[in-house]
Amino acid sequence: MPLPREWNLSKLTNTFKSVMGKDITDDTIGNFIGYFEDAFVISKVSKYNIKGRKYIGAPFKLYFEDIGVRNARLNFRQIEETHIMENIIYNELRYRGFNVDVGEVNVSEKTDRIDANGKYIYAQKALEVDFIASKGDIKYYIQSALSMDDADKQLQEKKSLYYIDDSFKKVVVAKTGLKPSYDEKGVMIIDLFDFLMDNPINHV
């Protein structure tokens, strides 16, 4: 089974049918997800619209409670480092006592197209925030990025955070090997290993 990606029950049902030739209903898939959650094999995470301040019904993500068990069960195949890193960050946040959701920010961006009146056309997009981590009055918006080698990649990882206009801390966890720092818009960049070594990101 793939590591973190967005799912809904119909998508999972279609995957079982096309890949495995199994004709399974949405209800059956939903029941089995519940069983795996009860057995602490996986964790189901809902999607939250940050600007709309509401949960979005159908989409969700699935994370493995124990990456080692998952990898061993698959005989150490399908080792996608990007997805494994995201799963590890999720598990670490849960271990630290945070409630964790997947976030979404709706934005309007100017395109290169021009309408009949000579004005630029704006496109509506939904940008993902990997994690919204909340505990009491503490909240973080967190992106997981395996690498941030160039300016385009950095903007890609930070873009959704730039559109969030509240005062809670925005963080990118990446494999940089560098000390924690802030960019000009106040987004914190922290190395993955610093984060996992319990670096208090609220005090850096």
Q: What is the pLDDT of residues 60-81, one digit of tens each?
A: 899 999 988 777 777 666 678 8
Share of the chain above pLDDT 70, in %: 92
Model pTM score? 0.85
- In a 13 Å sphere around the CA of 162, the CA atoms on its Cβ side amount to 13
Distance separating alpha carbons of residues 38 and 17, to the nearest angstrom: 25
DSSP for 110-173, please give it.
Answer: EEEEE-TTSPEEEEEEEEEEEEEEEETTEEEEEEEES---SHHHHHHHHHHHHT--SSSEEEEE
Q: Which fold has domain 6-78?
A: Arc Repressor Mutant, subunit A (1.10.10)
Tokens at 100, concatenated: 């964790």
Domain-by-domain residue ranges, the chain? 6-78, 100-196
Residue 1 confidence (pLDDT) above 60: no
pLDDT band at 204 (very low <50, low <70, confident <90, very high): very low
Q: What is the pLDDT of residue 6?
A: 77
Taking residues 115-138, report their average pLDDT: 92
Q: Name the pLDDT band for 200 (thresholds 50, 70, 90).
A: low
User: What's at 95, amino acid-wise?
Assistant: Y
Question: What is the number of alpha carbons within 13 Å of residue 118 lying toward its C-beta?
Answer: 0
